Amino acid sequence: MKRLVLNIYQRFLKLSLKKRLLITYLCLSLLILAVTSVAFYQSSKKVMIKRASVSSQQQLGLITNTLQDKIGHISDYAITLSINSRIAEVLKENPSVPESELDQFFVNSELIDQAQRIIGLHKNIYAWDFLDTNNRWFHSSTTDTEELNSYLSKDFLDLLPTDLSIHLLGPYEIQGEPVFAVLKSITNIDNTKYLGALVLLIKESNISSTFSNLPDSDSKNFYIIDPQNQILSSSSSSGIFSSLDEHLGIRREEIQDLKESGTKIVKIHGTDTLLISQEYKDLDWTVVNMIPLKNLTMDHITILYNIFVISILLFLLSVVFSLLCSRTVASPIQRLAAQMEKVSLGDLDISVAYHSNDEISILYERFNIMMKQIQKLLANIYEEQNTKRKMEIQLLQSQINPHFLYNTLNTINSLIGLGMNETASNAVSAMSAFYRNCLSSGKFIIPLKQELLITRQYLYIQNLRYMEFIDYKITEAVSEEEGKTMIPKLTIQPIVENIFVHALRTSKCRIEITVYSPSPERICISISDNGKGISPERLKQVQDSIMDARENGNSFGLPSIRHRLSLLYGEDCSFTIESAPGAGTKIVIILPKGGKQK
């Protein structure tokens, strides 16, 4: 994948500037349109989810209110039956279910008569029965309440004589359908003696009926769960007797998050789904509404289609605009590049004209100034060099690499093409300052501070080209007076340039330049990198060539630097190099403080 991207990038760089600008503008236009469309779609989606959450909370509020009314009515019936004097009297007279079927018939007839007087045809209560003091059923109802025995534990039943509260239990499976049971103790109102218990049975469908007759919504998938996440009731009567997390295929922690936050988006059977919850505190229940997100975004597809049509129209306009912009920017750059090509071939008597007041005009102006300074510097070099050794020194100082300039300007062109005008302007300023400091009025011995400035400007320019491959740090731990120590111009910069030629590798290269004072009379310059390093055999060759002051194409230019330092300081300076394969290279130069020449 990395090789494919690199191959595409290299092909892109081989295109003309005009084509690169056009492609860049079009890609940026597409990116902006895509980001805008996606952002608008996502924000609209969030608004619709928020609106659905608010609407669902309102519906859940209606459900909890209806539940409160419905269960409140059932509780009222339970209380009314429990305090009915005739029922209490019958239970008092019959603390145990009569053994005789005839006696049992008369007792049940009296209980049924009293219960029907109170309950009547109440739609929420479909059956009832009574327990005697021994927890045996009177069988006052046609429903086989014996099935409840498997659900009502002895420990719970033993608490009824002392617990006068109303208990809502279930759901339990009675005669093949889920049923809730309401239990209420019946006591003698005179002495609170336990006489038995009342049991009212409510079908789960009566509870789930609260989900019907709601306003139209995107979904009517409702569930009622207990603190253990067990489904007590649902709008589709599915999942009862199982936990909500198992029924929906989600994690238990997600249900807990839903209870705490009130809303949560989860993936149910591969579909993103919005869950909204609201507590019914009276019974410690939680009502949950489930809405698939696709139900919310159906209408949003139309909006997205309109966005797509508008984006296509805007893209066509951007194509026309990109053609105009690429022609406006690329043509003057191409003209300047053509002149620079002549410079690289040796024609230095060149001046270019550009009649505008934009950033490119600064580039033209600086190029003309640079060419004049180059011509002046070359004239000074030819005039001032008398001996072969002086010419060697001065030729090295006067080497203004056209390829470095050409690459720098190409980098600036790319920055402009990418719309990074401020960075391009900074690069032009750095390039101009670099060459201005390199020229330094024809001086070949300059202050250490100025040499570091040249190196800093060079690294800044190179960092624009190799920002993914290098990282550098320059530390000046010297005083202002120590910074005035004289040094041959272009002592540090060529060493740094060699790092770019020889030390770069696939991983990021770290360049560190440190200037400090190890003693009261010495200045130390340390240049190090973490590049691929030098083999022991090659290192010995380099060290030998440095000591012999012989320079060749494979010596990194180090012998010439060492020789110029020796000419200036004699034996009062040192030049050492340390390296190992894979461990980088370190060059240390030690000079006398103040730059006293020998």
Contacts of 302 (CB under 8 A, 6+ apart): none
Which string of DSSP letters, residue by residue, matches 507-541? SPEEEEEEEEEEETTEEEEEEEE-SS---HHHHHH
Contacts of 143 (CB under 8 A, 6+ apart): 126, 127, 129, 174, 175, 201
Domain stop point among 148, 174, 207: 207
- Please indicate, yes or no, if residue 402 is contained in any of the structural domains: no
Give CA–CA dist 17/329, Å, rounded: 9
> Residue 353: pLDDT above 50?
yes
* Dihedral, CA of residue 461, residue 465, residue 466 and residue 472, to nearest 10: 10
Q: Give 491 or 17, the one with higher predicted confidence.
A: 491
Check which CATH number belongs to the domain holding 126 and give it: 3.30.450.20
Terminal Cα distance for the chain, rounded: 59
Give CA–CA dist 6/402, Å, rounded: 26
> Residue 231: pLDDT above 70?
yes
> Residue 510: pLDDT above 60?
yes
Q: Give 60 or 15, the one with higher predicted confidence.
A: 60
pLDDT for 297 equals 62
Closest CA to 402 of 350, 342, 455: 342
Strands 177-187 and 167-174: antiparallel
- Please indicate, yes or no, if residue 526 is contained in any of the structural domains: yes
- Please indicate, yes or no, if residue 482 is contained in any of the structural domains: yes
Q: CA–CA distance from 182 to each of 124, 152, 171 (Å)?
A: 12, 12, 11
Highest mean pLDDT among 65-69, 316-320, 507-511: 65-69
Across 63-78, average pLDDT: 88
Angle, in degrees to the nearest 10, between helices 558-569 and 536-548: 40
Check which CATH number belongs to the domain holding 554 and give it: 3.30.565.10
> Tens of pLDDT along 25-41?
778 878 887 888 778 77
Q: From the CA atom positions of the chain, what is the Rg in Å?
A: 46
Contacts of 256 (CB under 8 A, 6+ apart): none
- Please indicate, yes or no, if residue 26 is contained in any of the structural domains: no
Across 513-520, average pLDDT: 91
- Please indicate, yes or no, if residue 190 is contained in any of the structural domains: yes
Please tell me what DSSP assigns to residue 315.
H
> Residue 89: pLDDT above 70?
yes
Domain stop point among 191, 207, 223: 207
> Tens of pLDDT along 186-219?
998 888 899 999 999 888 888 888 887 676 555 5
Counted domains in the chain: 2
Instruction: Specify whether the CB–CB gap between 97 and 138 falls below 8 A.
Output: yes
- Please indicate, yes or no, if residue 284 is contained in any of the structural domains: no
Domain stop point among 149, 175, 207: 207
What is the pLDDT confidence band of residue 524, given thresholds at 50, 70 and 90? very high
pLDDT for 534 equals 86
Instruction: Specify whether the CB–CB gap between 260 and 280 falls below 8 A.
Output: no
> Residue 398: pLDDT above 80?
no
- Please indicate, yes or no, if residue 9 is contained in any of the structural domains: no
Please tell me what DSSP assigns to residue 216.
P
Could you tell me the residue range of the domain that residue 186 belongs to? 83-207
What is the pLDDT confidence band of residue 382, given thresholds at 50, 70 and 90? low
Instruction: Specify whether the CB–CB gap between 218 and 52 falls below 8 A.
Output: yes
Element (DSSP H or E) covering residue 12: helix 2-14
Q: What is the largest CA-CA distance in the chain?
A: 144
- Please indicate, yes or no, if residue 502 is contained in any of the structural domains: yes
> 594-598 — which CB contacts under 8 Å span 24+ positions?
594/484, 594/485, 595/445, 595/448, 595/484, 595/485, 595/486, 595/487, 595/568, 596/569, 596/572, 597/486, 597/568, 597/569, 598/568, 598/569, 598/570, 598/571, 598/572
Please tell me what DSSP assigns to residue 137.
B
Strands 194-203 and 263-268: unpaired
- Residue 42 burial class via C-beta count within 10 angstroms: exposed 0-12, middle 13-18, buried 19 and up: exposed
> Tens of pLDDT along 123-137?
778 888 898 988 888
Q: Give 14 or 92, the one with higher predicted confidence.
A: 92
pTM metric for this prediction: 0.48
pLDDT for 528 equals 92
Instruction: Specify whether the CB–CB gap between 350 and 415 falls below 8 A.
Output: no
